[in-house]
Amino acid sequence: MATKFEVQTAPLSDGVLPGIMRQIVIEVCHDIGIPVREVSPSWSMNEFWKEAFVTSSLRFIQHVESVQVPLFWEDIQSKTWSDVPWAVKKFQGVGCITTQIQRELLKRARSDKYGVNGLL
């Protein structure tokens, strides 16, 4: 079955921390049939982004409301952050893929597969 979406995460070689939650989310995606590709998301493709999330040991998986990047990288060092013009990509709430991954993470946590039952 071909899917029209994939979860993208920057590869460790790009400086992403090899976090436990990142690895668990990759495992969950694999187990429930969500394709994962380790590639740095490219701003030039942002019109195709439907949702975004970050992972952490405190929040497990948290949806992202918006992503922003400087419009002009050339002169970014000569300005303060408040003087830099930004391009913004907004998302419409929690997406269905993020929700599906969240549900599976919580299901596994409740079954104590990851030894966090006392935290919930």
Both tokens of residue 75? 């002169």
Nearest to 11 by CA among 21, 23, 2, 3: 23
pLDDT digits (tens, 9 = 90+) for 82-109: 888 889 999 999 999 999 999 999 898 8
Task: Give pLDDT, residue 45.
Answer: 94
pTM (predicted TM-score): 0.80
Burial class (CB in 10 A: 0-12, 13-18, 19+), 24: buried
Give me the CATH topology for the region 7-119: D-amino Acid Aminotransferase; Chain A, domain 2 (3.20.10)
pLDDT digits (tens, 9 = 90+) for 5-60: 999 999 999 999 999 999 999 999 999 999 999 999 999 999 999 999 999 888 88
